[in-house]
Amino acid sequence: MSAISLRNVIKRYGKGPKANQVIHGVSAEIETGEFVVIVGPSGCGKSTLLRMVAGLEEVSAGEIAIGNRVVNDIEPAQRDIAMVFQNYALYPHMTNFDNMAYGLKIAKVPKEEIKARVDKAAKILELGHLLERKPRELSGGQRQRVAMGRAIVRQPQVFLFDEPLSNLDAKLRAQTRLEIQKLHRELGITSLFVTHDQVEAMTLAQRIIVMNAGVMDQFGTPEEVYARPATTFVAGFIGSPPMNLLKHAPGVRPGMILGIRPEHLTLDTDGWTVQVEYVELLGAERLIYGRIGDEQLVVRADEGQPAPVAGDTVKIAARQDKLHWFDAGSGKRAA
């Protein structure tokens, strides 16, 4: 039995011929204890999909099940979920302990159990010394941990995260990612996490749902999504820098698109002729940006290779065992 089942889920705003459909038949089975990330650009429908699982948006068609219950018509409070939002939504006048305990108090959980649950969550999140302070006395990362603690104490069947790291700076985001990974290892609770950041998706997920304009383009492990993208959209979205997608390079057949990752290209004495436009130095590696005709190409080179400079003409060779072929019409993977 899956922890979360999405069965041909559709979302429309409005009715009749002018209805705006934003989710187009998404189906996925998320297993018990699995950490799944929904990733995609702004407006792709990822948060709408999460909000339908939470019960904050109605399902226009299809079914959503949590455990063995179809929850389409069940109120959010009855779905056995806990949600962590982008905004911490903490009560400023309450201590961090009371913020974490508030939902349990409303549910009339006994005081002794409330304290035990809050203390346990605080220990996991290293918040024990901050429980008597108020949110304004904490950093952004600490406030987000209090928000996660508030979700943990509810002991839900499913955690839902809606871009919880978006308000943090780069260093805190990396640190909080590690804390979320640790949290999942310790608690093993099924988690659905929404982000627009493909680095977050790749580092956090056991499996990734890649959304594109309301359609699930691919559902697979980070390794599968990176090594065998199902569409040109996935190939161009996952990876930093993303996969090179070439229509007119020598050797590309009509009606096809050739995909090649920057790390699978090398400076060579034979290969494509590339005009170098600029080079980025990134410590142990260099990104070489150039053009084959009117198409841009990015090459990732390590520090051991001599770096060209802007204006140079170089030869670039592609690893033949790392080529990806896509249909130019549909954008779907061909080989």
Enumerate the domain spans of the chain: 4-233, 242-327
Question: Which CATH architecture is the domain 4-233 placed in?
Answer: 3-Layer(aba) Sandwich (3.40)
The number of angstroms, rounded, from the C-alpha of 117 to the middle of its chain's C-alpha atoms is 29
Q: Is 74 exposed, middle or buried (0-12, 13-18, 19+ CB in 10 A)?
A: middle
**What's the pTM?**
0.91
Q: What CATH class has 242-327? A: mainly beta
Q: What is the pLDDT of residue 125?
A: 87
Cα diameter, the chain: 74
Q: What is the pLDDT of residue 140?
A: 85
* Phi, psi for 203 (deg, rounded to 5): -85, -25
Is omega for the bond preceding 250 within 30 degrees of 0, making it cis?
A: no
Q: What is the pLDDT of residue 164?
A: 87
Q: What is the pLDDT of residue 179?
A: 85
Please name the amino acid found at residue 56: L
CB 101 within 8 A of CB 151: no
- 137-171 pLDDT, tens digit per residue, is 998 888 888 998 999 999 899 999 999 888 788 88
Report the candidate in 24, 22, 23, 49 with the shortest Cα–Cα distance to residue 37: 49
Pairing assessment for the beta strands 35-39 and 207-212 based on DSSP bridges:
parallel
Tokens of 128: 């024990």
The DSSP bridge partners found for residue 139 are none
Number of neighbouring beta carbons within 10 Å of residue 139? 11
Which three-class secondary structure state does DSSP give residue 233? Answer: helix
Tokens of 198: 């493909």
Q: What is the pLDDT of residue 2?
A: 81
Using CA atoms of 177, 178, 181, 182 in order, give the dihedral in degrees to the nearest 10.
Answer: -140
d(CA 135, CA 203): 28
> What's the chain's Rg over C-alpha atoms?
24
**Low-confidence stretches of the chain (pLDDT beneath 70):** 1
d(CA 111, CA 104): 9
Q: What is the pLDDT of residue 295?
A: 95
Contacts 24+ apart (CB under 8 A), 181-188: 182/124, 183/124, 183/125, 183/148, 183/152, 184/35, 186/124, 187/124, 187/152, 188/33
- 14-41 pLDDT, tens digit per residue, is 988 889 999 999 999 999 999 999 999 9
